[in-house]
Amino acid sequence: MKAALDYATQNADAFVDQLKDLLRIPSISTDSAYNADTRRAADWLADDFRKIGIPNVDVMETGGHPIVYAEIGSDPDKPTVLVYGHYDVQPPDPLELWDSPPFEPVEKDGIIYARGSCDDKGQAFMHVKAAEAYLETTGELPVNLKFMIEGEEESGSVNLVPFIEKHKELLKADVVLISDTSLFAPGVPSITYGLRGLAYVEVTLTGPARDLHSGVYGGGIENPVNALCKMIADLHDENHHVTVEGFYDAVRALSNEEREGFRALPFDEAAWLEEAGAPATKTEDGFSTLEGITARPTLDVNGIWGGYIGKGAKTVLPSQANAKISCRLVPDQTPGDITEKLRRHFEKHVPDTMTLDFKDLHGGHGAIVDTKAPAMKAAAEAMEAVFGQPPYFTREGGSIPVVADFKRLLGLDSVLMGFGLDSDAIHSPNEHFGIDRFHQGIEASIRFLDAYSRQ
Amino acid sequence: MKAALDYATQNADAFVDQLKDLLRIPSISTDSAYNADTRRAADWLADDFRKIGIPNVDVMETGGHPIVYAEIGSDPDKPTVLVYGHYDVQPPDPLELWDSPPFEPVEKDGIIYARGSCDDKGQAFMHVKAAEAYLETTGELPVNLKFMIEGEEESGSVNLVPFIEKHKELLKADVVLISDTSLFAPGVPSITYGLRGLAYVEVTLTGPARDLHSGVYGGGIENPVNALCKMIADLHDENHHVTVEGFYDAVRALSNEEREGFRALPFDEAAWLEEAGAPATKTEDGFSTLEGITARPTLDVNGIWGGYIGKGAKTVLPSQANAKISCRLVPDQTPGDITEKLRRHFEKHVPDTMTLDFKDLHGGHGAIVDTKAPAMKAAAEAMEAVFGQPPYFTREGGSIPVVADFKRLLGLDSVLMGFGLDSDAIHSPNEHFGIDRFHQGIEASIRFLDAYSRQ
């Protein structure tokens, strides 16, 4: 491993130059005008895998953009690590807010500015360079290594699940390694061990058959907006708990150890609140803000509309009221179960003056990984060696659906070892990635593969 | 009076032809492309007043479309009646839904189809023809008569209050006569003695400074849409009473006699509900539907919006939630007082996680007229003579702001003797007016002037 680490240090600048080449390819998966560029990024990666001496490389077709697969080693005595990442990027719009062109990487004060620099070309490429460091020095890896770099993450990964289902044998591994998340704070190492899932529904209440005159009908016909507001208000009790029957049944309770872990995190709540721009926080009774945003389920209205929403006053008694409502889920809640519970709740409480239309829009499973699993220990060891302090184990409030897919389809846990920062402006203008973090990621990957082989 | 009635019968067809001439003028007050036509309608009316022998006729300028003023008689021993109406009309859009051109009157099965036929050219013109019937036969009227026919009713009557304030002396009268409402049902005479007022506000709740990711922030930042829904839900109690403090303080209670009057009305609630298209009615506890929609105050959300309202699922925790909310008011509630009570209510209940913006958009006073007043008795006598049955005294749920303006500025009650029907499609394609009702209106006007002169 020492030789690999030295190689990475010696080739640090070359690695950055190579990354810049990859960043120059506008692989915007959601815009078909960039289909050729997106494929070019896949081919570029496949070429790089071949250059570093991986014999088994394939640009595999899907119904959409291809998946770059690479594999080295099949030693039955070694564990197998599957690295997941994505080579596609978000559209760069609004272009006028970029300080430099999104696909012409600019290095400034040790930071690379370019679309995809952090999400996820920069982070996925760290693992390619870690493999190179081993192959160019010791000539072999401490583990069997598989890469699966997809090209549709920013457009919904629509072909990913079918691909995994079709290639279960090919993708067999002991653990998945993903770098597509963030450090807890600059210089503060962390490993994400929990993600929330999602149940997203849309409800429409219909009262009268058309918009009515509020003077002529008001007082005799119930207003669907008022009624929907009441139904939404009743979804939380005075302690901000969700009132949907059975909502918390499957929630895995936080252990004392986990809660201690949350308390130990250097979470600057005042700074966090200021960044969000709200006058005060609000969390369900009995839980801290950090627990509330990462380890507890939620229910939020994402959008509401009904009646007259133009300028001025129109005296309409609306025919319909609509809301998009979603729940963030925690293990072991499932989107199917929670959606059904929401449906039953709404059906039970719809007034007799209204009809209800309830739509299941979207769902995703949460995920949680045992922090004492061998791969997690290996990741912690690697991170501590890189940063000089043990990593925090954290949970994230958002969702990475592929993590649940790997668990569900392949039985694999994922190690989420991310080197982004919340301030990296992913999905926004002036996306960037610290070159120091790029190198820390390569080092951590080298150290993880070694540590995991010894577990 | 007999001679005047005979004259009206003999000239029935001529009156209809004249009305058609007036209906051919597209006096759309809200669209400046029709400014010349709108003025042409005013001039047409003034000419007709002169033709029937009224000496004192004036097309009076306002800041917008002119008001046609006509006056005959100044006998101090006679009461003075001020007829109010409007010669402007709603835009005819959507044009493609008309079965015949909106400004080419078509007569079919005893009905005139044209924009303005009912609202309000046809109804205002009835009183002109009633005056003609007297002047062409007896040569004088039983009362002093003033006409004030405005041209901005369909565009908010913005110049009306300043006009009334400026011409208080000119407009001095004992009562106002208005035909711009409806019969209770076909063949069922009614006189409107109550109208509701309006207090219309807009509220905005702001939580975070920008739309947030519901996964990253959900559970720690309160959602302004959820919070606004709760505030709106809390505006009614379980009996559907409005909970705003002091909301009912000024409400004039319904007398037993009024409530008996409501019960006596031939109100077909099932048909009414079917027409509205809702599964069931809903009224505050203790009141009938008819009381609820005409004689009780209400609180309705006219529009609500916040967050993502496009297609599909976007996991946003919105920065803002907005609602347009209005109350229909009954005597003696005032829009100023109710708006202040709403403001205090919202300010008191805004969560500490939000800021509130409260806007007063619009207000109007309700009105109520003593059904035993001389003019009301005269109107009842006239309607009974025309229809062969005494009229019902009814209240309407909507607002006619000018009625409150006449009371407030001139101290005058208004007699609302309308001959429309709810099915006349005013403000909609294929507006129409029954020729029988046009003639009934002329007869009722002749009889009213006579009866009122004898009170």
| Arithmetic mean of pLDDT, A189-201 | 95
Classify residue A157 as left (phi > 0), alpha (psi -120 to 50) or beta.
Answer: left
Probe site for chain B from A254, A301, A333, A353 (most B CB atoms < 10 A): A301
Residue A149 in contact with partner chain B when CB distance is under 8 A: no
User: What is the spatial distance between Cα A182 and Cα A22, in angstroms, rounded to a whole number?
Assistant: 21
Q: How far apart are CA A329 and CA A267, in angstroms?
A: 22
Q: How confident is the model at residue A400 (pLDDT cuts 50, 70, 90)?
A: confident
**Where are the domain boundaries for CATH 3.30.70.360 in chain B?**
199-251+297-364
Question: Which tops the pLDDT comparison, B94 or B11?
Answer: B11
Contact flag B315-A304 (C-beta cutoff 8 Å): no
Q: Enumerate helices (H) and strands (E) in chain A, giving the number of each.
A: 14, 18
Pick from B312, B313, B397: CB nearest A218? B397
Res A399 pLDDT > 90: no
Residue B174: CB partners within 8 Å, gap ≥ 6?
B79, B80, B81, B375, B412
* Calpha distance A98→A87 (Å, rounded): 21
Residue B427 has pLDDT above 90, yes or no: no
Q: Which residues of B are identified as catalytic?
A: 88, 153
Intervals of CATH 3.40.630.10 along chain B: 2-195+366-454
Contact B214 A284 (CB under 8 A): no
The CATH number given to A197-249+297-364 is 3.30.70.360
> Is the bond preceding residue B94 a cis peptide, omega within 30 degrees?
yes
Q: Are strands A414-416 and A175-178 parallel, antiparallel or unpaired?
A: parallel
Question: Which residues make Cβ contacts (< 8 Å) with residue A178, sequence separation at least 6?
Answer: A83, A84, A85, A400, A402, A403, A414, A415, A416, A417, A418
Residue B288: pLDDT band by 50, 70, 90 thresholds? very high
For residue A401, the model assigns a pLDDT of 87
Q: Which helix (H) or strand (E) holds A300?
A: strand A300-307
pLDDT for B126 beyond 90: yes
Q: How much is the pLDDT for B180?
A: 94
Place of tokens 């044009």: B95
CATH, domain range B199-251+297-364? 3.30.70.360
User: In the predicted model, what is the mean pLDDT of residues B141-145?
Assistant: 98
Q: How confident is the model at residue B344 (pLDDT cuts 50, 70, 90)?
A: very high
The answer to whether A394 and A293 are in contact (CB under 8 A) is no
Q: Which residues pair with B81 in a beta bridge?
A: B145, B175
Burial class (CB in 10 A: 0-12, 13-18, 19+), B94: exposed
CB distance B281–A351 less than 8 Å?
no
Residue A165, pLDDT > 90, answer: yes
The beta-carbon neighbor of B220 closest among A283, A305, A317 is A283
Reported ipTM: 0.88
Pick among A90, A155, A244, A304 to test the B interface (most B CBs inside 10 A)? A304
pLDDT at B313: 84
Evaluate whether the domain defined by B2-195+366-454 bears CATH number 2.30.30.140: no
Contact B217 A279 (CB under 8 A): no
- The answer to whether A24 and A126 have CB atoms below 8 angstroms apart is no
B156, closest residue in chain A (CA to CA): A313
Give percent above pLDDT 90 in chain B.
90
Band (pLDDT 50/70/90 cuts) for residue B109 is: very high
Provide the CA A200 distance to its chain's centre, in angstroms.
Answer: 16
Is the CB of residue A243 less than 8 Å away from at least one CB of chain B?
no
Res A270 pLDDT > 90: yes
Q: Give B38-48 pLDDT, tens digit per residue.
A: 999 999 999 99
User: Which residues of A form the catalytic set?
Assistant: 88, 153
Question: How far away is chain A from the Cα of B209, in angstroms, using its nearest Cα?
Answer: 4
Q: Using 50, 70 and 90 to split pLDDT, how confident is the model at B74?
A: very high
pLDDT confidence of A280, banded at 50, 70, 90?
very high
Decide if A307 and B306 are in contact by the 8 Å CB cutoff: no
| CA-based nearest distance B254→chain A, Å | 15
pLDDT band at A115 (very low <50, low <70, confident <90, very high): very high
Q: What is the pLDDT of residue A52?
A: 96
Q: Report the helix count and the strand count for chain B, using DSSP H and E.
A: 14, 18
Could you tell me the pLDDT band of residue A275, with boundaries at 50, 70 and 90?
A: confident
* Contacts with A, B 307-326, CB within 8 Å: 307-310, 312-319, 321-324, 326
The owner of tokens 């609509």 is A322
- Residue A93: pLDDT band with limits 50, 70, 90: confident
Range in A4-8, A433-437, B207-211 the model is least confident about: B207-211
Instruction: Encode pLDDT of A204-219 as tens digits.
Output: 999 999 899 899 899 9
Q: Which residues of B touch A350 (CB under 8 A)?
A: none
- The answer on pLDDT for A180 being more than 90 is yes
| Residue A17 burial (CB count, 10 A) | 11
Calculate mean pLDDT across residues B86-95: 92
For the stretch B292-307, pLDDT in tens is 999 999 999 999 999 9
Distance CA(B74)–CA(B79), nearest Å, equals: 9
Give the separation between CA A298 and CA A235, rounded to whole angstroms.
11
Give the gap in angstroms from C-alpha A7 to the nearest C-alpha of chain B. 38
Confidence of residue B380 (pLDDT cuts 50, 70, 90): very high
The C-alpha of B284 sits at a distance from chain A's nearest C-alpha, in angstroms, of 7
A226, A357, A421, best to mutate vs chain B, most B CBs in 10 Å? A226
Question: How would residue A455 be classed by pLDDT, with cut points 50, 70 and 90?
Answer: confident
By Cβ distance, the residue of A276, A305, A315 closest to B302 is A315
What average pLDDT is seen over chain A?
96
Q: Is the pLDDT of residue B327 over 90?
A: yes
Task: End-to-end CA distance of chain A: give it in Å, rounded.
Answer: 15
Buried b (16+ CB within 10 A) or exposed e, A180-201: bbbbbbeeebbbbbbbbbbbbb
The beta-carbon neighbor of A313 closest among B308, B316, B361 is B361
Binned at pLDDT 50, 70 and 90, residue B188 comes out as: very high
For the cut 90, the answer to whether the pLDDT of residue B35 exceeds it is yes
pLDDT band at A135 (very low <50, low <70, confident <90, very high): very high
Span(s) in chain A for CATH 3.30.70.360: 197-249+297-364
Residue A94 confidence (pLDDT)? 86
Phi, psi at A324, each rounded to 5° = -100, 125
Q: Is A208–B278 a contact, with Cβ atoms under 8 angstroms apart?
A: yes
Whether the CB of A420 is below 8 Å from some CB of chain B: the reply is: no
Of the pLDDT bands very low, low, confident and very high (cuts 50, 70, 90), residue A155 is confident
Q: For chain B, what is the mean pLDDT? A: 96
Does A293 contact B220 at a Cβ distance shorter than 8 Å? yes
CB contact under 8 A, B219 and A284: yes
